């Protein structure tokens, strides 16, 4: 007995959508795993061999929580033994995980802005207040939507079963709006500080330029990548069918994880280089000249406050 052509088309479309979601999750998970393998040596040298600090804790959380999340997500997408209750718990886990993995790199980026402004308490207060407001707004949207959804285990084929959400609010795209606003604020502060720094550093100690440049570069690059990712999420939530909204989420998690980790590793690598330069300049065999004293004074004005904060929090 053959099925009507319209039913066959719907069935084939459902299978195609399920496979697209699965492949997207595999691809995003591969990004995280590949970056882990690529930077494992730097992680051991710059993170695990260092003393414990807020930055080290943030790195470990941002490094391994998303990895745990993608492993569990892929299990949920490919497991042949799932139930309706499991699917509901899975969607709630995925929602809150998305929020947490977006917040962790934001804290890292906030620390960079604080260092860029030489530990300016007003900048810290501004970014902290806006961060709390944005996170609270996104969490309120997430909690409201997750409290209303239902889920079921859909089995289109005997050997294929898949979690399908229902009752997802059309206004869930608002979740991404506070994140985009906060990203824009941090990017604006980084660009402003970059303009001020390079205006004041006419010909300073060379490493000062490098450190400030790395902080600004990473901040702006993170903004560009994550702004594109969050904007894509927002547009998909507005325009795509509800059963396809999972596709971009994995990539947002992967990119925020990778970019956040790279920000910490890049600064620690630069910090290590500056420490080596200073140790070489202090060897007894080297003469201490007025030029050296002048350079150290420039280093103190431009970098020491930043380096102290980065050692404690990066």
Low-confidence ranges of the chain (pLDDT < 70): 1-11, 197-214, 242-243, 273-314
Torsion over CA: 38, 40, 45, 51 (sign):
positive
Pull the structure tokens for residue 253.
């998690």
- Count CA atoms closer than 13 A to 196's CA, side-chain side: 10
Strands 160-166 and 150-157: antiparallel
- What does the alpha-carbon distance between residue 248 and residue 259 come to, in Å, rounded to a whole number? 17
pLDDT of residue 166: 84
Query: What is the per-residue pLDDT across 275-309, written as a single tens digit (0 to 9) for each?
Result: 666 666 565 544 344 333 333 333 333 444 444 44
pLDDT of residue 73: 86
- What does the alpha-carbon distance between residue 22 and residue 163 come to, in Å, rounded to a whole number? 11
pLDDT of residue 293: 34
Give the helix, strand, coil percentages of the chain, each rounded to 5.
80, 5, 15
- What does the alpha-carbon distance between residue 195 and residue 188 come to, in Å, rounded to a whole number? 11
Residues 243, 206: contact at Cβ < 8 Å? no
pLDDT of residue 277: 60
Residues 102, 179: contact at Cβ < 8 Å? yes
Query: What is the per-residue pLDDT across 113-160, written as a single tens digit (0 to 9) for each?
Result: 888 787 889 999 999 999 999 999 999 999 999 999 998 888 877 778
Tell me the pTM: 0.78
Domains of the chain and CATH, by start: 14-278+289-313 (1.20.1070)
pLDDT of residue 305: 46
- What does the alpha-carbon distance between residue 110 and residue 104 come to, in Å, rounded to a whole number? 10
């Amino acid at each position: 007995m053959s099925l009507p052509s319209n039913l066959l088309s719907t069935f084939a479309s459902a299978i195609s959508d399920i496979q697209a979601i699965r492949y997207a999750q595999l691809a995003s998970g591969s990004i995280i795993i590949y970056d882990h393998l690529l930077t494992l040596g730097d992680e051991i040298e710059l993170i695990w061999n260092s003393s414990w600090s807020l930055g080290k804790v943030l790195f470990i959380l941002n490094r391994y929580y998303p990895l745990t999340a993608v492993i569990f997500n892929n299990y949920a997408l490919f497991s042949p033994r799932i139930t309706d209750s499991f699917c509901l718990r899975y969607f709630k886990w995925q929602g809150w995980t998305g929020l947490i993995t977006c917040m962790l790199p934001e804290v890292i980026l906030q620390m960079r802005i604080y260092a860029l402004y030489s530990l300016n308490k007003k900048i810290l207060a501004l970014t902290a207040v806006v961060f709390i407001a944005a996170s609270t707004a996104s969490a309120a949207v997430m909690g409201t939507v997750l409290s209303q959804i239902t889920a079921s285990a859909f089995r289109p084929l005997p050997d294929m079963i898949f979690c399908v959400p229902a009752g997802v609010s059309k206004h869930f795209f608002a979740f991404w709006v506070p994140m985009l606003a906060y990203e824009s604020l941090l990017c604006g502060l980084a660009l402003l500080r970059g303009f001020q720094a390079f205006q004041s550093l006419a010909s300073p100690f060379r490493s000062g330029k490098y450190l400030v440049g790395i902080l600004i570069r990473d901040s702006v690059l993170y903004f560009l990548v994550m702004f594109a990712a969050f904007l894509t999420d927002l547009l998909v939530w507005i325009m795509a069918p509800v059963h396809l909204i999972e596709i971009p989420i994995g990539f947002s998690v992967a990119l925020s994880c990778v970019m956040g980790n790279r920000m910490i590793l890049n600064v620690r690598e630069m910090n290590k280089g500056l420490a080596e330069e200073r140790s070489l300049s202090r060897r007894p065999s080297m003469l201490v000249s007025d030029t050296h004293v002048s350079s150290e004074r420039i280093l103190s004005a431009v970098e020491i406050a930043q380096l102290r904060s980065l050692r404690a929090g990066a």
